[in-house]
Structure 1
């Protein structure tokens, strides 16, 4: 049965990064304890057993090491690292056989609900409505499209029973020809200090529907990560999503 009391012991991997610092503040705000903080290049293995849950906001190259540490210690792990590739998702699936794993491109509760609404809209509106995902982030963000944009695109693809990888269109330039039927388009903007802006546009014949979310501070992601990680404690091994945290 899942634990509900406060004072849960958190291990934060990448805790000196911007998100790591925000998560440390959110842990304290929620009445929990930052038991262990692991910096870039550090090995969480010897320390993981001191924690009730691990939170990983580090780099894709460190994912296997972090998952192995969680498995050995027998503790759940929430992974918010972006820029993951297919090999990383294989590693996540393998780890989920023995521990609870929650991996997401965005821990915001608002974005979680947005993805749910995108899934509903894509299913109800049908394939004659074109889908475009627009995102903007600060100038220092290194991956594109964002993990959140991909999460929203994946929600739309799942609702339509298609593979995002084979229907994704991004970086349009030059003479591209007409829009491919069934495509899910992505547009990326970078500049300033924008924490995160995401819109999913459903374009039909003579009408459009736009579902949007604006992040004003990365603290919203930190609070969501702490809530999700705390929810994960005591769950059965398996893959979980932020939608599960909200009961969607």
Structure 2
């Protein structure tokens, strides 16, 4: 699958290494070295995927992601240092689709790129009578990629929507974190179950009346999470 990929990394040698591997995999690849240039290039070039380093001069990767998510649905693969878990979690909250922690192998980067592009290429499924699911106060429309709570639409990232969509198909089923990782991006050895915890935490802020006392998106300790109808009275 050939795609247009934008690489934003302030280390020229590192960025060039990424570019060479992506080109060898058949992708048209552009490189920039600061956040402002990344934002401008993403707006003008409309890439299929943005590989975005967190630490960059002028405008960091988190700010670039935050800005783009207000105006674009471009895939974002974020690069972050192992010591900056806070940046990683914030990046997911801002709408990054996946992340890699440094150091990583170029082959892993290419594999992760393929996974993201393959998932995106599946597109929106054909409309069917059963495309929408109502679970208590929460409605999930898989075709329209829309979530509503008490009839009010809420904004979800790709990862958040994937989790709700999977769980809405089987209410009251307990999903392990590994199973939910599979639904969000496919199983990757370096993905962490912490990613799912962050998505669930963010979802509770959006769908629960009191995120500290969830009534529908519940934790099953030692196992994972489940989506229930909630209180019936």
Q: Which has the higher contact order (CA 8 A, sep 6+)?
A: 1
Give the TM-score normalised by the residue count of structure 1: 0.42
Give the TM-score normalised by the residue count of structure 2: 0.45
